[in-house]
Amino acid sequence: MATQKELIAVVAENMGVPIETVTVIDRYLAEAGLRTRALRGRGTTPMTYADAANMIIATAWDANPKDAVNLVKAFRDLLANRVRETVYVAKDALGSTFGEALSNMIESIPEERAAFSAPDDAPGHMSVRVIMYGPEPRADVILVKDGEPNTFEFGPMFSRSIDLRRTVEFSQITLGFVGEAIADGFSK
């Protein structure tokens, strides 16, 4: 299991954010109860997949670290809305909320490393793209298997028409490295 410092390091490295920024984000999340509290003294507290999902949500948006708590609260509880391409896949197949879906993917992607690392045209190839939208929170998770995409939508289906729109995107690379860190920890 990854410790708090190891989780911060792997998120910072894979998302290209300074480690100092992720450290401050982590502190705000811990103070708000959105990250497992570290033990005092010499003990180390293993981080959970939910801790990692919250940290990725807060870090991905590249906002002021003081906004981390509000960002996590806005995005992690977005309800699964639908799967765009088909009615044959349950809308909550990844998780009933965006935070749960991220947490589940962080846990499962390392287990399917061969499929996610395979060439695009290989049988069983899989990939994931996560897109977060703002200022009105919405998110899509695009899971591609054997060239067939399934877009899981989280949050309201339609938003009011405003001209400003922000998006952030990350892939199975971040989710996989973070998942491996949580599952295996780092060699000392």
Residue 87 scores a pLDDT above 50: yes
Phi, psi for 98 (deg, rounded to 5):
-60, -45
Once rounded to an integer, what is the mean pLDDT over residues 68-92? 91
pLDDT of 140 reads 96
pLDDT of 188 reads 38
Using 50, 70 and 90 to split pLDDT, how confident is the model at 86?
confident
Using 50, 70 and 90 to split pLDDT, how confident is the model at 182?
very high
Once rounded to an integer, what is the mean pLDDT over residues 1-21? 93
Residue 40 scores a pLDDT above 80: no
Using a 10 angstrom Cβ sphere, with 0-12 exposed, 13-18 middle and 19 or more buried, the burial of residue 72 is buried
Q: Give pTM, 2 decimals.
A: 0.91
Using 50, 70 and 90 to split pLDDT, how confident is the model at 44?
confident
pLDDT of 185 reads 66
CB 104, CB 56: distance < 8 Å: no
Non-local (6+) Cβ contacts of 168 within 8 A are 60, 61, 62, 131, 132
Using 50, 70 and 90 to split pLDDT, how confident is the model at 56?
very high
**Predicted confidence (pLDDT) per residue in 94-152, tens digit:** 999 999 999 999 999 999 999 999 888 899 999 999 999 988 999 999 999 999 999 99
